[in-house]
Structure 1
Amino acid sequence: MTTTVTLTGTGVPIPSPGRAGAGVLVRYGETMLQFDAGRGTVLRLTEAGVGLHELTALFVTHAHSDHVIGLPDVVLGRWIQDHVWQTGPLDLHLPAGAAAEFAARMLDPYAADIALRMEHVQEAPPELRPHAFACASEPREIWSRDGVTVEAVAVHHEPVPDAVAYRVRTPDGTVVISGDTRVCDEVEMLSRNADVLVHEACRTTALRAAVAGTPFEKIFAYHADTVALGGLAMRAGVGHLMLTHLIPAPDDEAGEGAFEQDVRLGGYAGTLSVGRDLMTATIG
């Protein structure tokens, strides 16, 4: 079989044409793992040819709204069509703390809708199956099935206290998804010899003077500088670096080229993709 990595959303909280909210799909045979669920995730999965009933599990990196706002849509959409596919609840893996608290309450605003649907079609309410885990500075395995394993490690997205990156191992190779983080040793360790690293990217070095004294200066401080990211990918021996969560979102090829120039300046010479929604990489 072949492992594929699909960017289901490359955007940030500020909407940008053609860019859904944060999300990555890793597929190995019939095992389909979604990481984060930003705005538009359900539509992007549909465009990628993946039905909600086909998802094996969903993993959340942290509680920022642009990474979880599409999560109720995934859960409710799967539930609404359950009488057709009979797939049952979706396993949801996420850090303990704010992300787990969000998941526990996220369907509350839909109580009336759920009750109405149960009056005429659905036999039971949507069932959440959350699996919360403690963040740790060393990678720990949190999921395994059919030759595929997922590990998590705490990253540095302060002031967010509970944020993680994930490493997926399949018989074909290794995929790492950074979530939101500064360039840090934990992700570098997790990415050692990874076939694909999907990493958020912020043009901090290039735009430092432009954002000085503005709120963006604080925002840039807890995201990954593209130049430093190039150094991380080089040292870790990453085979293919895919940039996502692009700050600021490029609107043309020249803008994408600026991201690439930053990463190359940092020293990375491997395969590089400046992410677009539904861009796919293949391992195996």
Structure 2
Amino acid sequence: MTTTVTLTGTGVPIPSPGRAGAGVLVRHGTTVLQFDAGRGTVLRLAEAGVGLHEVTALFVTHVHSDHVIGLPDLVMGRWIQDHVWRTGPLDLHLPEGEAAGFAARMLDPYAADIALRMEHVQEAPPEPRLHAFACGSEPREIWSRDGVTVEAVAVHHEPVPDAVAYRVRTPDGTVVISGDTRVCDEVEELSQNADVLVHEACRTTALHAAVAGTPFEKIFSYHADTVALGGLAKRADVRHLMLTHLIPAPGDAAGEREFAHDVRLGGYEGVLTVGRDLMTATIG
């Protein structure tokens, strides 16, 4: 049995051709875990060969729209199919605070649609099971089943509160998903000897002068600089680093090479993937 890690979305809020919103899929046997659900997640899951009824649980890193805008789509889509698959409600795990509040309200705009569908086919309304957790600077286990565990730790995406990274342990190895964060000690510790680290990437060093004095200067301050990220991956002895949530989105292969150059400049010498949607890494 192997563990696979698939990038279901490598984009950011600004639309970019071929890049769905943030998302990472981790599969081990029949355990199917989705992390975040940005724009187009449902379609990317279908393209990855995953039915919505097959998703075991979904984990949210933080409340920014580009990470959760696809969540109602996933929940509603699964519910609409439930009279066929009978899989029941989806388990949603998310940090306490704004993310949990969003999930509790996310189906409100669909009240009329839900009522109409229940008149025709559906037997009960969609009721995703919300599991909100508190998280600090030390990792804590929040989920476990069939030899797979998920841990969460708070990260630094200020001013966004309650942002977390996740570590998935399977019998094959370890996968870490950073969520959105600047390079920080918490993710470095979480990533020690990880088989795969999926980390957001922002070319802050290269573009610092170009964004000085613009709103992007603030945005760059709470995302992960590619050069510093290379240093983190080297110190943590990460075997495979996958870059996602690419800022700015590379328009071609030359742009992707610039991301890779930055990371290598930071000292990382392991396996490096500049992410595109549906790229997959295998452990085991």
Which category of TM-score, normalised to the shorter sequence, fits these structures?
A: over 0.9
Supply the AA of the counterpart residue of 1:37: A
Supply the AA of the counterpart residue of 1:182: R
Residue 220 of structure 2 corresponds to which residue in structure 1?
220
Residue 117 of structure 1 corresponds to which residue in structure 2?
117
Secondary structure of 1:201's aligned partner: strand
Residue 184 of structure 1 corresponds to which residue in structure 2?
184
Q: Please, which runs of 5 or more residues in structure 2 have no aligned partner? A: none
Supply the AA of the counterpart residue of 1:135: C
Supply the AA of the counterpart residue of 1:92: L
- How many angstroms apart in 2 are the aligned matches of 1:136 and 1:216? 28
Q: Alpha-carbon deviation of 1:153?
A: 0.1
- How many angstroms apart in 2 are the aligned matches of 1:83 and 1:161? 38
Residue 229 of structure 1 corresponds to which residue in structure 2?
229
Which structure 2 residues correspond to residues 163-182 of structure 1 after superposition, within 5 A? Answer: 163-182=163-182
- How many angstroms apart in 2 are the aligned matches of 1:106 and 1:259? 35
Residue 72 of structure 2 corresponds to which residue in structure 1?
72
- How many angstroms apart in 2 are the aligned matches of 1:161 and 1:280? 30
Supply the AA of the counterpart residue of 1:48: A
Secondary structure of 1:181's aligned partner: coil
Supply the AA of the counterpart residue of 1:122: Q
Which structure 2 residues correspond to residues 75-224 of structure 1 after superposition, within 5 A? Answer: 75-224=75-224
Supply the AA of the counterpart residue of 1:210: A
Secondary structure of 1:24's aligned partner: strand
- How many angstroms apart in 1 are the aligned matches of 2:13 and 2:154? 22
Q: Answer yes or no: is 1:278 the counterpart of 2:278.
A: yes
Q: Alpha-carbon deviation of 1:128?
A: 1.6
Residue 57 of structure 1 corresponds to which residue in structure 2?
57
Q: Alpha-carbon deviation of 1:72?
A: 0.2
Supply the AA of the counterpart residue of 2:210: A
Secondary structure of 1:13's aligned partner: coil
Supply the AA of the counterpart residue of 1:96: E
- How many angstroms apart in 2 are the aligned matches of 1:154 and 1:61? 9
Q: Alpha-carbon deviation of 1:136?
A: 1.0
- TM score, norm. by length of structure 1: 1.00
Supply the AA of the counterpart residue of 1:256: E
Supply the AA of the counterpart residue of 2:188: E
Residue 32 of structure 1 corresponds to which residue in structure 2?
32
- How many angstroms apart in 1 are the aligned matches of 2:193 and 2:106? 37
The alignment yields a C-alpha RMSD, in angstroms, of 0.3
Residue 22 of structure 1 corresponds to which residue in structure 2?
22
Residue 251 of structure 2 corresponds to which residue in structure 1?
251
- How many angstroms apart in 2 are the aligned matches of 1:122 and 1:97? 31
Secondary structure of 2:11's aligned partner: coil
Residue 265 of structure 1 corresponds to which residue in structure 2?
265
Secondary structure of 1:11's aligned partner: coil
Q: Alpha-carbon deviation of 1:271?
A: 0.2
- TM score, norm. by length of structure 2: 1.00
Q: Alpha-carbon deviation of 1:44?
A: 0.1
- How many angstroms apart in 2 are the aligned matches of 1:106 and 1:83? 22
- How many angstroms apart in 1 are the aligned matches of 2:113 and 2:120? 12
Q: Answer yes or no: is 1:47 the counterpart of 2:85.
A: no
Number of aligned residue pairs: give it: 284
- Residues 171-211 of structure 1 deviation map (CA, whole Å, 9 limit, x = unaligned): 00000000000000000000000000000000000000000
- How many angstroms apart in 2 are the aligned matches of 1:57 and 1:128? 10
